[in-house]
Amino acid sequence: MKILAVEDEPLFADALLMMLDELGYDQVQIADNATDALRLFVAFAPDIVLMDIKIKGNQDGIEVAESMQAGKNIVPIIFMTSVKDKDTFERAKQTNPIGYLIKPFDEETLERNIELAIYKHHKATWDTELFTTWNNDVLAEDSLFVKNKQRLERIYIRDIVHVVADAKYIELHMKGGKVLASVSMNDLLNKLPTQHFVRIKRNQIINTQYIENIDLKAGIVLMSTGEEASIGRSYREEFLNRLKIV
């Protein structure tokens, strides 16, 4: 998922980038003024915008949000501000934001607001039955069945190389391609054999059978398919403890 953060206070911008990195969001662009924010909104095409209200330039964050919402590509916006007065809130409310965070906020609050924003934005088209349940619907322990229109497509668990959460869908990267499903990462992880699948970031699971090598300094896992995955700092210790290191 791509996130555009608009924040002009350097210390808070750094803290925000660290929180997003810890949460597993590695496609992040940041701007500190109205002009760059609007340019990146078009060029980067984010899935969500985190918008500070007081920013550099001749427009504040509310005015930038109005410009963003005026186009065809409507993207959920979460305001971030230390301003608590009612007039500012009422102005911001007119842009139909999906969240309004008062600084300072912690990582958990940010995570919940991002997930809720994505869910609300896609609620009208969210297919809660796209992915079948393991206990009730799936009889083959070596497989998962993904609903595709009126058909259930069988995929073999052994062929799943890694899994990435991207906005509305979960992407299952297979040896022979990619399959989309709508299910939470936690639910999917519960459906996969724990001896082979491990979470290395908030939005990524890998199949340890496909690990080629691990760059401990860079925190990068190289898969035998040639793909790379970075290990989130908060998942690093647990991930390494799961490996048989001699």
* CATH number of the domain that residue 163 is part of: 2.40.50.1020
In a domain, 88, yes or no: yes
Whether 49 has a pLDDT exceeding 60, the answer reads yes
Same domain, 56 and 120: yes
Same domain, 6 and 121: yes
Question: Residue 149: which pLDDT band, with cuts at 50, 70 and 90?
Answer: low
CATH code of the domain in which 60 resides: 3.40.50.2300
Nearest to 170 by CA among 143, 208, 130, 135: 130
> Stretch 231-237: mean pLDDT, rounded?
89
Q: Give Cα separations from 42 to 69, 78, 88 (angstroms).
A: 12, 18, 26
In a domain, 143, yes or no: no
Same domain, 165 and 207: yes
What value does the mean pLDDT of the chain take? 85
Q: What is the domain count for the chain?
A: 2
Same domain, 214 and 161: yes
Question: What's residue 89's pLDDT?
Answer: 92
Q: DSSP 3-state assignment of 203?
A: coil
In a domain, 144, yes or no: no
Same domain, 12 and 92: yes
Same domain, 162 and 120: no
The tens digit of pLDDT for each residue in 5-30 reads: 999 999 999 999 999 988 888 789 99
Same domain, 120 and 161: no
In a domain, 202, yes or no: yes
Q: Which domain holds residue 199?
A: 157-242
Q: Are the CB atoms for 21 and 10 separated by under 8 Å?
A: no
In a domain, 136, yes or no: no
Q: DSSP 3-state assignment of 239?
A: helix
> Stretch 197-204: mean pLDDT, rounded?
90
Judging by DSSP bridges, how do beta strands 197-201 and 204-207 pair with one another? antiparallel
In a domain, 103, yes or no: yes
Same domain, 43 and 109: yes
In a domain, 112, yes or no: yes
In a domain, 149, yes or no: no
